[in-house]
A = this chain, B = another copy of it.
Amino acid sequence: MTDFSDKKLFDCTQCIFRMYSCMYMPEEEYEKIRKTANQLQFKKGEVILKQGSKTTHLLFLHKGVIKMNYENNAGKNIILTIVSGPKLLGGANLFFKDYNLFSIIAVEDCDVCLFDSKTLMSLLAENGSLLLTLVERATEMFQASIFNYISLAHKQVNGRISDILIYLSEHVYKTKQFILTLTRKEIAEFAGCSHENVIITLSKFNKEGIITINGKEIIINDMDKLQDISRRG
């Protein structure tokens, strides 16, 4: 983790969070928030927020990819969702709990802003329209998680892996050809199956020509077939 408190890493005037804010809030008000903001860079693998730690900040992911990781009481890691910036990471994890329910871990190098949640919350309570917008954004991610989990809980591994590939392609990397920084083990933690099963399934999709695997690179050749497998579960 690198702290650049003295200089500005990202241009705040380009910030999406600010864009939302100033739709509903005068510049001076926003400045109060901005002063509490802390620009940071995280390297792949670094923990941005740790499960169980106090929630003192709301997090805005400018750039990069993170995983929301939950370690259950058996010590098993479970990936709740994977998201790419720009995105506000709040909601159940950050908005209302005293302690973080999940960890947020960088899967690729990330640029983030941390906002002091106390300052933010008191400003939000006076500014319903902004709050509505923020909650709406934060809720979006939640909805996405729910639908991920519908897939995971009610489909077999073929369908789950298809869903994850579609999700990564459409919502994280936004292209059909991407470098997958997640390991097979991490995909297994996301899909809720053994890593062997992930490998077998990916190999099968590769052999059938639905996807092409070149080391870390994945190319989705036949999105229709993938969606068909997803549909049939």
Contact = CB atoms under 8 A, between A and B. Distances in A.
A124 B133 CA distance: 12
A167 to B, nearest CB: 14
A23 interface: no
Number of chain copies forming the complex: 2
Interface in A129-181: 129, 131-132, 135-136, 139, 142-143, 145-146, 149-150, 152-154
Nearest to A92: B143
A153 B128 CA distance: 36
Describe A's contact surface by its main secondary structure.
helix
A13 to B, nearest CB: 26
Interface in A157-214: 192
A5 interface: no
Interface stretch (A28-36, A74-82, A108-116): A74-82
A159 to B, nearest CB: 10
A85 interface: no
Interface residues of A, number: 37
19 contacts: A74-B232, A74-B233, A78-B150, A91-B142, A92-B139, A96-B136, A96-B139, A125-B128, A126-B128, A127-B128, A128-B128, A131-B132, A142-B146, A145-B146, A146-B149, A149-B150, A152-B153, A152-B154, A154-B192
Interface of A: 70, 72-74, 76, 78, 80, 91-92, 95-96, 101, 121, 124-129, 131-132, 135-136, 139, 142-143, 145-146, 149-150, 152-154, 192, 231-233
